[in-house]
Every structure is written in structure tokens, then in C-alpha cells.
Amino acid sequence: MTREKRFSSLRETDNLLILKAIFNEWLLITPIAPITPGEAVKGMMLNGLGFANRPLSLSPQFFANKPLDLLFRPDVKAERLNRFKLGRTLDEVNTYGSDLLLSEIALVVCRQEAIDQRFHHLDTTSFSLTGDYVPESDEQAIAITHGYSKDHRPDLKQAVLELMVSQDGGVPLVSKTWDGNASDSQIFQDRAKALLSTFAQSPTPRYLLADSKLSSKDNAAQLKPLGFIPRIPDTLTLVSQVIRQALREDTWQALDDTTRYHRLALCHYGMAQRWFVICSEAATQRAEKSVSKAQKREFDAIEKPLFHLQARRFESQQSAQAALAALSESWRYHHIASTELIAQKRYAGKGRPSATTPIKASAWQMQAEVRPDAEAIRRSKQHKGCFVLGTNIEADDLRDEEGIAAYKAQSQVEGGFRFLKDPLFFVSSLFIKKPTRIQGLLMVMTLALLVYSVAQRRLRQE
């Protein structure tokens, strides 16, 4: 009998009990153990979902006043859920393969809950850690090291978590822990390779959505057989060109009351694609705040060098104008409103010059008035209020409106990260020194997110 058939009878059972049964079936069980692996994992998840803001080493205190006979079974004692049992369970999870285990559990849960897996949303985040982490001999262990910190803590070592969730409910489908210095580009490239066979064997179309790191020249070969919808990097010159074209042609199509888009067809990285220039009220408001801040920073940066330039003396009018032009060359949001050249004469001899005192030399002083460039500011706000999506999916398979709406649901995976990194969740629980146990704990955290998202989805459907 297959694992899926063994757990088909649990369809109407509480999610935590389903996961407990799966863990007890798939992990090694010691017959005389007072706490099974499934119960240990369930305890960790309840500790986290209880938002108790306490490390896992204090789990016995968390369960001291809880009805354990209802949550687990009779004769389960709080002191048995100690750090030694939880640590050994995390070791067993790592031995089985934490990434594989979560994928298998997610598959069972998605089929039991009839979760739509048409759109897969992919992203990464980092978890900052403190302390010294000695590399393990285990080849599967990650390296806890410094890297690009999405927590804005470059002083701390970290681990990177890759998460892929369904658009339907934001249910985690894939979770994988990476080295602290792993790059999004490499992670997305490896994930695209891994999804090739999965998507090809699926009886229904499946599409991958991610941010701009998915769309790269190095990743084009892996993306070509997949249906994908990434955001196109703003750093590409072509992106600026298509945004300017959309603003110039002004042939927008309404998506809803607050969003409009401009579509164009092109060939990018050897693939025929549809690109959508998206403009929304929310993006425009963000752009206005961003440009206003940038304008203020630029004006603050202009004041001092302009003051020093106006204090200088130049040998000719041309050199004074050239110095002002060089200073204003980098200005984006300001322009020179007016200028005045003042002649500064130097007379021969000492003392106050008379009408007949000969002029020894002449110098020029530049006076300039700087004002905000209203037209440049308006263009910049318009441009920054737009972003570009791309897809290789045929229009017959996915309408424009469906593709754009699907990408807007990328917030599902970002919401999952906010849940995992909530200060009241597991943040204080990462007092674990073995990298393999950190991998197991991050997987357990993702399981808690799975239970939370499925429960939330059920409430919305009722």
C-alpha cells in the first residue's frame, strides 16, 4: 500500500494530526520511546503557533498548563518534550531529508485539500543567526556564513530559505535551506531545472512566478521549456525603453479601476515573449514618495558645492560657465533657473583705486539660482510608477489579465516570510548550533506555515 493511500483516510482529520501520522510513518520510530517523532514535531509546531515568544528549549514550560491528553494522547508529559528529544528529532528529519520530507507532506496535504497548483510563487529570504558554527562533515549540511542580508544585518551570519507556495491559499509546496551566501540567481536557476520534469508530468498546466532574479541570460535555457511570469529587471536598458514607449504611445488597457497595462510582443533571450508595462495607483504613490525623497537628497547635495563654486574666481566667463555646467551635469531633478556673471577687477598698486588706476587683471564670479525641474520630476514619477512583467506563455493558454493578476499574488510568498519572521514566532528559537538541526528547524517552521495557511484557507471558504 502506498503512503498516499495509507493517509487518504485522514482527509477529515485535523492538519496537525495528519502531519503527526506522516512523521510517525516516514521517520524512524523507537518502539519504547515515550514521545514519537510526529509528536515531537507537533510539539514544536504548537510552540511556534502559540506565538509564545520562547525558545524551543523551554517547550516543557509552554506545555506545562496545556491539555496534553487532548493535544497528543494520554500519558504524554510536558517534561518529555525537552530539548534533547526535540534535537534528536531534528537529527532524524535531517537524516531523512528535510526538503524531501516537506515536499512529500505538501503533496499529501494539497491533494487532500484540493489545492489548485496552477501557479507556483517562488522567493527567498534570509535568517540572521548569532554564534560560531563549525562546518559539519555531513555533505548535506549548509554553511552558516555571511552573505547579502535581507534582514539588513550584514554583521551577522545567516542561512537562506527558499520557499515556493501555491497561489491558492499560499500553501508551501517547496522549502529548501541554502548556504548563507547563496545568490537568488543560482537558487532560481537550480529550482527551474528541478521543476522541468514536475511540470512536464503534470496533467494540468503549471506556471512559475518569481521576482526579477528569475529573468536572466544565464537562466534562459532552463526557463525556455517552462511557463514563467517573472518581473523583468529594471536595470535592463530595454526595460526603460519599453516604459518610455508605453508612456509615449499612451495606449493603455484597463485591468481594473486602479491598474492599467500596455502589452507588446518581442524576442528576449532567444524566446518569444509577451511583456506588460504595468502602471497602478499604488505604484504611482510609491514613486511620488521615492522621487520626492530623491529630490530632497539631491538638493541637499547641491547646496555645498554650489556655494563653493559661487565663491570662486574664474579667469574668463567661459571657464565660469563650464564649471557650472560640469556641476549640474549629474542633476536629475533640478535645473539652473538663472545665472549672473560678476566682474571682479584687480588694480595695480595698493590702497583704494582711483579713476585713473590701471587694471592689473579681471576675474569673474558666477552667481546661479537653482530650482526644481518640474518636467523632469513628472517624467521620473511616471517612469518609476511603472514596472515590466514578461512571460513566454501563449495568449491562448493564459490571458493578459490572468497573467498580471497571478503575479500580483506574489505577495502570498512574501506573507509567508512575514509569518515565519514574526518576532512572536520562532525567531528566538534559533539557538541551535548544528547547521543540520537549523535546516530541520526551518523545515518545521515551514510546516507550521503550512498548517496556518490551510486553516486560513478553510476559514475563507466557509
DSSP string of 170-226, one letter each residue: T-EEEEEEE-TT--HHHHHHHHHHHHHHHHHH-SS--EEEE-GGGS-TTTHHHHTTS
CA-closest candidate to residue 190, choices 155, 219, 148, 228:
219
CA-closest candidate to residue 279, choices 236, 241, 246, 248:
246
The grid coordinates listed for 7 are: 493517509
Do 122 and 162 form a contact (C-beta atoms < 8 A)? yes
User: Residue 24 and residue 40: Cα distance in Å, rounded?
Assistant: 10
User: Residue 135 and residue 158: Cα distance in Å, rounded?
Assistant: 14
The grid coordinates listed for 329 are: 551635469
User: Residue 218 and residue 215: Cα distance in Å, rounded?
Assistant: 9
State the DSSP H helix or E strand holding residue 101, giving kind and residue range, or none if neither.
helix 98-113
Tell me how many degrees the CA angle 246-249-253 measures, rounded to the nearest 5. Answer: 65
Cα Rg, the chain, nearest whole Å: 31
Other CB atoms within 10 Å distance of the CB of residue 135 = 11
Total length of the chain: 462
Q: What is the pTM of this model?
A: 0.82
Other CB atoms within 10 Å distance of the CB of residue 19 = 23
Looking only at the bridges linking them, the beta strands covering 334-347 and 253-254 are unpaired
Do 197 and 181 form a contact (C-beta atoms < 8 A)? no
Distances (CA, A) of 132 to 37, 128, 158, 233: 28, 12, 11, 36
Q: pLDDT of the chain along its 462 residues, tens only?
A: 444 443 343 344 456 656 666 666 656 555 556 788 888 888 888 877 775 666 666 677 878 888 888 888 888 888 888 888 888 888 888 888 888 888 988 988 898 889 999 999 999 999 888 777 766 666 678 888 889 888 788 888 888 999 999 999 999 999 999 998 999 888 998 888 888 888 888 888 899 999 888 888 888 888 888 899 999 998 899 999 999 999 999 999 998 888 999 999 999 988 999 999 999 999 999 999 999 999 999 999 999 999 999 999 888 889 999 999 999 999 999 999 999 998 877 766 677 777 666 666 678 899 999 999 999 999 999 999 999 999 999 999 999 999 999 998 888 888 888 888 876 665 445 567 788 888 888 898 898 899 889 989 998 887
